[in-house]
Structure 1
Amino acid sequence: MPNSPPYKEEIIIDYEDISHQRQTQEFFKHLPEYTKQYFVSLFPIATWLHRYNLMWLVRDLIAGATVGIVIVPQSMGYAKIAELPAQYGLYTAFVGLCVYCLFATSKDISIGPTAVMSLLVGQTVTRVTSADPTITGPEIAVALSLFTGIIAMFIGLVRLGILVDFIPAPAIAGFMSGSAITITIGQMPKLFGIKGMNTQDSSYLIFGNFFKNLPNTKVDVAFGLVSLVWLYAVRYACQVLGRRYPKYSMHFFFFSIMRNGLLVIFGTLFAFLINIGKSTSPISILKTVPAGFTAMAIPTIRPSVISGIASSLPSGVIILILEHVAIAKSFGRINDYTINPDQEIIAIGFTNIWASFFGAYPSTGSFSRTAIKARSGVKTPIAGIFSALIVLLALYALTPAFYFIPDAVLAAVVIHAVADLVSGPSYVKRLAAVSLWELLIFVATVLVTFFSTVEYGIYASVAMSIVILLFRIARPRFWGLGRIPLSSVHSVVYEEDKKQQFTTTEHQNFLYVPEQHPSLGKLVESLPDGILMCRVDESFTYPNSSFISDKIITYCKARTRSGGKVLSKGDRQWNDDSTPATLAARYNLPRLHALILDFASVNRLDSSGLQAIVDAQNTLNRYSGHHVEFHFVNILHPAIRRCLIVAQFGTQPRPGNSRKEVLPVVPASRDGPQRDNEHQHADMENQVDQEDDVKEGQTDYVETVQGGISIPKDRYPFFHWSSDDAVRSALESQEIRQSLEESGEALPDEAISNSNVPASH
């Protein structure tokens, strides 16, 4: 085409339907490869162990030893929270540190006893043993470890880790904060040497009883308060000095990490000195800690134990998975690597199953120790083995020295460790600015945990999260859209039938925004008379289908007038409260010609949602007295487009005088009026032919956009990739309808459909 203006080739959008049979064949074709990948993924260590080197070994050794120094005193303190002897905390720490590296996808996670899990175990032990004194605490701990591990292992193996995503971060922060507050209050009697208090009561009862028994404070308070001052003062001083002298920041960091170990060493030494020559200790001390793994055995689970722990298993599994995966994801983002949630769930599942043979109680990822491990420069999960060796050394060589460890010192270690789990005022303030609903979840979880147990706190947070999620799905935001004029666009029209003549045109483009937009609302103007546009910020599915259909109908009726005959008072519906004034006002409104649905936020359309759109169109057809075109913009997924084509929204209107259910819940009666199925099938088969006929005689319309492509055109004339294109298409068919009505001709619906060619074609 010499001397002709440049133009871009038109792009027509269509998708190939892939049958279920073909999808099944493809799946079985690749099944051996999928199976191999699945089993290889179960042991991630095989993918990196061959690259292990001396430099990694040094870094892992330093990080592992650092965590080991911290985990020994923490484990014994956490075991006390779990209402178990101190050695059970060491058993739990050892197994978690050893086994995790085989399945890990996170280099930073440190598995072992945690404050929240210990609290749940302690509350379960108290509840079950008070109901049945023949059951022991260690027996309950082993059963919890075994069954929570089995459930977690199953969830990971069948790849159900997606369930974690249904619980939002505020819910996790809520029960973590509530548990930290509960643990802190529960440790206060030990910190002050007050005996005779039940530290497994609800937090508010412990808090009240603590002040009631404050006059019974013992000399333990000196050890406890001095320990707290030491822990916070060393951490603060090392942080300040590290910022002031960056060259020695790592030296200050490692000294800060050693503060727990130094505290236990010197606290034990002072306790030993004041006990010289005394038959009874003036302070509460840890006393005998058996050396080695004295509880190692095959778990024997009695039916009474299973029934006793059954109610705690769901909350136990939730804590194991949520706490671990949340920490792993967080440190993965910080250190620029990705974890596999399902594999991490398998790791903690296997760890807890194996731990039950060592007499350990459930363990999961620890936030404080993971942070220390990451800061220490860990390179691989093998660092956990070096931490386990420190625990092993403590179990076999240091247990005689544990005898004089003051309980007040361990209480201080625990309080200092869990204090960082409490979300501060800045978090609450940011959460309130982001979402009041999520703030409600957070506050409710903290309050329920404080006034009852961590178990009920977890259930409350999960239940509220799911209810709010379902409410958001069932009641999505609905927007009526207006438009704001943008700069003009120059276009070229190539007319093949007229000896390749070119004409340059200019058309106006618009920005489509909600009519009540907070910033642009004053600039918004209405769409042309008879044309409306709306958007729903959610998928069209069965929970919200009726709500969306009602919203669409109400929105359209409020802005248009009825096209049917005027009814007398006797013929009106019982719920029609129209008055002569309102009828006169509505008479000046335009009749609805087309509704444009923006599907940019719709990522799923099921049968109920599809039927809701059909019902809305049927209602609007009756209301307007003629067929109302439904145009669809920004259909992002081929499956949604296929659903709309099945319901014949691609080539409107549907053949016949009435619109039936797309997927009827109750089949139509055989005795009622029937439509010829052969004709119905023929109508579906002829849709593509009708589209080919529509394209005949069209002119080629191309926008001269430098450096890009022209706006794609869908094969079906009611599907659009541009809101402007949808409005122009509706305007063109509206002009044809009006011209035929003015000439007195009756325009059949099929003619309207075939004339509904986007102006851009």
Structure 2
Amino acid sequence: MKTLARWAPGLGTLRRYEGAWLRPDLIAGVVLAAILVPQGMAYAELAGLPPVTGLYTTIACLVAYAVFGPSKVLVLGPDSSVSPLILAAITPLLVTGDPESAIALAGMLAVLVGVIMIGLGLAKLGFVADLLSSEVRVGYLNGLAVTIIVGQLPKLFGFSTDADGFVDEVRQFLRNVDRTNRATLVTGLCVLAVLLVLPRLTTIVPAVLVAVVGATIASAVFDLAASDVTTVGVLPRGVPAPSLPFTSWSDVVPLLVGAVGITMVSLADTIATSSGFAARHNEEVDANQEMVGIGTANIAAGFFQGFAVSVSGSRTAVADQAGAKSQVTGLVGAGLVAALLLFLNGLLADLPQTALAAVVITAALSLMDLGALRRYASIRPSSLVISLVAAAGVILLGVLQGIVVAIVLAVLLFFRRNWWPHGAVLGEVPELGGWHSVTEHPSATQLPDIVVFRWEAPLFFANAGQFRDQVRRLVREQHPGWVVLQCEAVTDIDVTAAEVLRDLDEEVNAAGVHLAFVEMRDRLQSLVKRYGLHTTLDEEHFYPSLERALADITSAAAEGSVTDRPAGQT
């Protein structure tokens, strides 16, 4: 039973289910279903798929996550940040406009995403989500929002274009704007106004429910279809039987690129959302089990004519605010969506397509974070540049290429910060207490014949040369008798760096300069011994604190010799 609870934590929660949770779970499930339907259909169209596939996806992923997901409140489903990636991945593989081929390709993609996620979870590699740094992720989502909005404008205005790429989308829209259907545009703008204004007035009633129901009723009462307003039409009755989605082996490798991109975006959303809601409920996040749960949900969606999914922060917030206590909320929501398809499949037949475009545009606006850009500009301009480059990659190169640019940019950013780390000469600042950078505090006091230098990164093959050159420059410019290396921020020393340290010590010793090491971790001191560096680096010149090192050095200088006092241990 423990093994079952480990791999299917949802079943463990159901075994411990409390009767008092049922009523709030039922209420939350009903509220959740009200937004699952329109958003599922809208994001399906955003992925280039029939609207009904969004409902199939919603049902399958909610049921699967209820069994295999560890969180009690997370809500999965079609997502505005994932759907454009799906469209970008499957479009080049479509030979014709056959929706069945598109559905099969999207299903294959979902299964691949699920397999990757489960593999990462089982291998306990949840940290890969950290590859998308905050500024890169903000830039990617801002670029994605712009791309989505521009892509939905023709549908909002009541016409279609055959554009390829962002620039062509803008050109085609401006060229065809005179084909605007006024009834379609007015309907879409009204829905958009409700979606944007109502949440500012009240959060009791979901704005998307009011907007979609209102648009459907207005369409039926005023017979908007007669004014060439395109509607959703009657949905296929029932739910599909499970089947393995497959087109050809030649499609697998191209889809893998999209699957990796979706995995990165989905994991970043998942970890951020699950951490936030877990903190509210004093729970801990099991990132690896989250990946298994979401991976299983993706595979389930793929087997039921669905597409890749992610955690939805907005839908999770709705469920949480409605009082959800467990994943029974998701099961109730899935059950109501299934009931719609089984018994009320004509209920949304009069829903205008422009209303779905308004839902997508609203979701895209929620992805944008201009405040973050202003914050980056004020605190770290380089982060602003990185974020804008990531956004430009999505807008100008395409969504799929943009996520690749974002990931590469994040990795390069990591290597940049460790390859060319900051090194600082320190001086004593009595009014602040302790030793600080003389660049930031020009009045800081330095001791004669001693340079205190702080290295702010692991010391490894890529930056060891930078370290050596900076120490050489200090020796050449200041002619000290001692260079005291403050090593608090040094978390590792690799073989190449060890060789550089040995050669550097011999070089500066020949010039009459001694090296001392301060606050080096016990683990690294042991590593230094294993590297055999104590044949050159004096074991007595490793100190537990800067004060201890300076006291010994000044005392030895006063006595006219190098101190023989043993080094303390950190």
Give the one of 341, 346, 351 matched to 2:297: 351
Tell me if structure 2 keeps the 8 A contact 1:119–1:183: yes
Aligned partners of 1:228 and 1:758: how far apart in 2?
70
Encode CA deviations 1:383-404: one digit per residue, 9 max, x unaligned: 2111111211121122122222
1:551 corresponds to 2:470: yes
1:401 corresponds to 2:365: no
Q: How does 1:441-590 map to 2 (within 5 A)?
A: 441-484=386-429, 511-518=434-441, 521-522=442-443, 524-529=444-449, 531-560=450-479
Give, in angstroms, the shift of residue 532 of structure 1.
Answer: 2.5
- For the aligned residue pairs, the C-alpha RMSD in angstroms reads 2.8
| Match in the other structure for 1:203 | 166
What amino acid is the match of 2:190? V
Change (3 A) 1:55 1:173: farther
What amino acid is the match of 1:139? A
Aligned partners of 2:394 and 2:417: how far apart in 1?
26
Tell me if structure 1 keeps the 8 A contact 2:508–2:514: no
| Match in the other structure for 2:118 | 153
SS in 1 for 2:451: strand
Tell me if structure 2 keeps the 8 A contact 1:69–1:390: no
Change (3 A) 1:427 1:38: farther
User: Which of these two proteins has the greater Rg computed from alpha carbons?
Assistant: 1
| Match in the other structure for 2:358 | 412
Aligned partners of 1:344 and 1:163: how far apart in 2?
13
| Match in the other structure for 2:146 | 181
Tell me if structure 1 keeps the 8 A contact 2:44–2:50: yes
Give, in angstroms, the shift of residue 98 of structure 1.
Answer: 1.1
Give, in angstroms, the shift of residue 326 of structure 1.
Answer: 2.7
Tell me if structure 1 keeps the 8 A contact 2:69–2:292: no
| Match in the other structure for 2:204 | 254
Give, in angstroms, the shift of residue 451 of structure 1.
Answer: 2.0
Give, in angstroms, the shift of residue 559 of structure 1.
Answer: 1.1
SS in 2 for 1:261: helix
SS in 1 for 2:540: coil
| Match in the other structure for 1:734 | 557
Aligned partners of 1:228 and 1:261: how far apart in 2?
12
What amino acid is the match of 1:303? W
Change (3 A) 1:757 1:226: closer
Give, in angstroms, the shift of residue 336 of structure 1.
Answer: 4.0
Aligned partners of 1:477 and 1:45: how far apart in 2?
47
| Match in the other structure for 1:684 | none
Tell me if structure 2 keeps the 8 A contact 1:732–1:756: no
Tell me if structure 1 keeps the 8 A contact 2:236–2:345: yes
What amino acid is the match of 2:219? A
Q: Report which stretch shifted further, 202-211 or 305-314.
A: 305-314
Aligned partners of 2:338 and 2:317: how far apart in 1?
22
Change (3 A) 1:441 1:263: same
Give, in angstroms, the shift of residue 642 of structure 1.
Answer: 0.4
Tell me if structure 2 keeps the 8 A contact 1:480–1:535: yes
Change (3 A) 1:618 1:358: same
Aligned partners of 1:178 and 1:184: how far apart in 2?
10
Q: Percent identity?
A: 24
Give, in angstroms, the shift of residue 47 of structure 1.
Answer: 5.6
Give, in angstroms, the shift of residue 357 of structure 1.
Answer: 1.4
Change (3 A) 1:320 1:758: closer
| Match in the other structure for 2:36 | 71
What amino acid is the match of 1:544? N
In structure 2, stretches of 5+ residues that fail to align are none
Aligned partners of 1:287 and 1:165: how far apart in 2?
43
Tell me if structure 2 keeps the 8 A contact 1:152–1:345: yes
Tell me if structure 2 keeps the 8 A contact 1:112–1:366: yes
Give, in angstroms, the shift of residue 128 of structure 1.
Answer: 1.6
1:272 corresponds to 2:220: yes
SS in 2 for 1:106: coil
Give, in angstroms, the shift of residue 146 of structure 1.
Answer: 1.1
Change (3 A) 1:385 1:734: same
Give, in angstroms, the shift of residue 49 of structure 1.
Answer: 4.2
Encode CA deviations 1:534-577: one digit per residue, 9 max, x unaligned: 110111112111111121122122111xxxxxxxxxxxxxxxxx
Q: Report which stretch shifted further, 62-71 or 639-648.
A: 639-648
Tell me if structure 2 keeps the 8 A contact 1:733–1:756: no
What amino acid is the match of 1:611? E
| Match in the other structure for 1:116 | 81
What amino acid is the match of 1:122? L
SS in 1 for 2:372: helix
What amino acid is the match of 2:278? G
Give the one of 242, 246, 265 matched to 1:300: 246
| Match in the other structure for 1:666 | none
Aligned partners of 2:34 and 2:406: how far apart in 1?
35
Aligned partners of 2:180 and 2:565: how far apart in 1?
87
Q: How does 1:288-327 map to 2 (within 5 A)?
A: 288-294=234-240, 296-327=242-273
- The structure, 1 or 2, with the larger RCO (C-alpha pairs under 8 Å, 6+ apart) is 2
Tell me if structure 2 keeps the 8 A contact 1:600–1:634: yes
Tell me if structure 1 keeps the 8 A contact 2:426–2:437: yes
